[in-house]
A and B are shown apart, each in its own frame.
Chain A
Amino acid sequence: MVSYILRRLLATIPVMGVVAVFVFFLLRLAPGDPAAIIAGDDATVTQIAAIRAKLGLDRPVLEQFGLWVLGMLQGDFGTSIFSNLPVSRLIAQRVEPTLALALSTLLVAVALAIPLGVLAAAKARRLTDRLVMLFAVMGFAMPVFLIGYVLIYVFADRLGWLPVQGYKPLSEGIGPWARHLVLPSLALGITYMALIARITRASMLEVLSQDYIRTANSKGLATGRVLLLHALKNAAVPIVTVIGIGIALLISGVVITETVFNIPGLGRLTVDAVLKRDYPIVQGLIIVFAGVKVLVNLMIDISYAFLDPRIRY
């Protein structure tokens, strides 16, 4: 098992390499010269050239790439063109809110969606099932920002139960921190819940028609044990896969949610950097997001081996 995990970990290196190549050259091909943008509209050619030199944009492309990768391996993601601060520090400052939002969303979504999906499958074609599926379709059809504004209107503006926007760091107390996370997590999580609930239901329905479920019932086991042990464990692989895909969706959702709820996280940093063409930040963020996705993917692959004894590793 350990060697399997190590092997899978090593296999992520080429993937990250390809991501790095793409990020680097794609941004180089994008229109607009960052040096000219920084210098401003009425800069002279020499001013622009000086900025180029400072950013290293005058060197051969391959050399630029090599230096960039080498720097990242040492934790140096370059320097922001505008603020002159290290990208790694800018990212680190914004990690907490995003991580808090992503994890609370994940937790809420998974904790609600799986029971809902199991319930829907157990009551297939009955009222409970139809209600859950109605919710799933609606949750899936509504864009995150719309859900966000509706939630803000109802629970913050009208009822005043929760703060309208913003973020409070965990260091300022768990209460305010949690209160600020409820609405954004719900807004971001509903789509995600809908997705997981649907897959859980479909996967469970498939499993519930299997012979071994009939066997479990013929043993007189309690319904809960049949559903949650005998069925859910067999249904788990597609569910876990979708949770993983959901994490990828979550990352794009985070950008929108942070904007709607005015949360100073990585999403906002991304938007700002893209609008300003602050290439070093954009590059750094893409690499971080890609790294997270690759890691999640790895964890999912490893979880398969725990969920299904037939999977060889």
Chain B
Amino acid sequence: MTQPANSQVNILEVQDLRTEFRTIDGVVRAVDGVSFSLKAGETLGLVGESGCGKSVTALSILRLIDPRAGRIAGGSIRFEGRELVGLDEAAMRGIRGHHISMIFQEPMTSLNPVLTIGTQIAENAARHLGLGKKAARGRALEMLDLVRIADARRRLDEYPHQLSGGMRQRVMIAIALACNPKVLIADEPTTALDVTIQAQILELLAEIRQRLGTAIILITHDLGVVAETCDRVIVMYAGRMVEAAPVAELFRVPRHPYTRGLMRAIPRLDLDAEGEGRRPRLTEIGGLVPSLIRDIPGCAFAPRCALAGDRCRSERPPMLDVGEGHRAACFEWAHGFEGARRDAGQAEGVR
């Protein structure tokens, strides 16, 4: 089975999403005008440096932003045409874990330590599919098989501390998929795992997408992962979207200077990966990520950008069409491409 027949239908549409947090220092604009759509069965990558708002975007879609800390300040999130922003909590609970599921970055702490694996998978199915106790347990067993956990029957009655990190992440995936969701949001699902396990989990996700046709939003800071698994990519910077393109297009002609900065950082990442077993964050571009509290009138990347002109600093660039299904928020994108070549040459020279 390849892509489902309805692959052209937008299953999720996010329009101008803005999420902010109230802090003692002021309002943090963690997500500031993000728009994208997700087609059925598609894998969409969401990349950017630490703190750029990837997780907050994901949590906003599921409406899991703690109301005591922050709120969705504006925009629209439509799931199968139904508006989720402002939807009442009870209806939202019917969507979470049922139609839209999420897996988290930390498999070691994301499972409940005092409940068995079986309970944690089965309760999903019991809640949303109306299965009885026995049927739900059967479903849990099926899911453990699906995520390739050996000896599933025994594992059902085990507790998370009896499993390795990789297995826990498989269990998380089993939980997320228990109700056959249409959308799976995977927030850095492999960051906490060592490299061989990372590859296995990514393979598993790809296989699940093939078999079940689940649309996936894959959050990562690892462009290598994006290249291998995604159809399209969104690059975020300081809470804003800076570029969106099909994967091949993005790697061939990155238009936004920030994206190109990220790409230059790739080889370094691989080098560092050996030392720690974990890939470091993307902080290879000179300068600092701007504070999200101050209102940034122009392009958020301008202070770090070699191409930035006066207009970049005073006017916020909209997402401009820069190619086939390719958009970038940069006034200088045309120069940028030449610049990219130059940068690449320099990078060679340095090494």
List residues of chain A with CB under 8 Å of any chain B CB: 124-125, 210-212, 214-222, 225, 229-230, 233-234, 307-310
Closest B residue to A236 by beta carbon equals B114
B62 at the interface (CB under 8 A from A): yes
Interface residues of B in 233-278 (CB under 8 A from A): none
Most B CB contacts (10 A, CB to CB) among A210, A219, A229, A230 go to A219
Of the A-B pairs whose beta carbons lie under 8 Å apart in the complex, a sample of 17, sorted by A's number, is: A210-B109, A211-B106, A211-B109, A215-B172, A218-B62, A218-B104, A219-B96, A219-B175, A220-B98, A220-B127, A221-B93, A222-B127, A225-B123, A233-B115, A308-B114, A309-B114, A310-B113
Residues of A within 8 A of B96 (CB): 217-220
Known: A211-B104, A211-B106, A214-B104. A219 touches B112 (CB 8 A): no
A220 touches B104 (CB 8 A): no
List residues of chain B with CB under 8 Å of any chain A CB: 62, 64, 68, 92-98, 101-102, 104, 106, 109-115, 123-124, 127-128, 159, 161, 172, 175
B101 touches A218 (CB 8 A): yes
Residues of B within 8 A of A125 (CB): 68
Most A CB contacts (10 A, CB to CB) among B97, B128, B172 go to B97
Most A CB contacts (10 A, CB to CB) among B98, B109, B172 go to B109
A201 to B: closest C-beta gap in Å: 15
Residues of A within 8 A of B110 (CB): 211-212, 214-215
Given contact pairs A212-B111, A215-B112, enumerate 18 new A-B contacts (beta carbons under 8 Å).
Answer: A211-B104, A211-B106, A215-B104, A217-B64, A218-B96, A219-B101, A219-B123, A219-B127, A220-B94, A220-B96, A220-B127, A221-B127, A222-B127, A234-B112, A234-B113, A308-B113, A308-B114, A309-B113
B161 touches A230 (CB 8 A): no
A218 touches B112 (CB 8 A): no
B193 to A: closest C-beta gap in Å: 16
Residues of B within 8 A of A124 (CB): 68
A225 to B: closest C-beta gap in Å: 7
Closest B residue to A208 by beta carbon equals B66
Residues of A within 8 A of B111 (CB): 212, 215
Complex Cα distance, B68 from A216, in Å, reads: 18
Closest A residue to B162 by beta carbon equals A309
Residues of A within 8 A of B109 (CB): 210-212
Complex Cα distance, B159 from A212, in Å, reads: 13
A123 to B: closest C-beta gap in Å: 10
Complex Cα distance, B102 from A217, in Å, reads: 10
A295 to B: closest C-beta gap in Å: 25
Complex Cα distance, B127 from A221, in Å, reads: 7
A240 to B: closest C-beta gap in Å: 13
B64 touches A220 (CB 8 A): no
B113 touches A220 (CB 8 A): no
Complex Cα distance, B159 from A193, in Å, reads: 33
5 cross-chain pairs, A with B, having the tightest CB-CB distances, nearest first: A220-B96, A219-B97, A220-B97, A211-B109, A220-B93
A11 to B: closest C-beta gap in Å: 26
B22 to A: closest C-beta gap in Å: 13
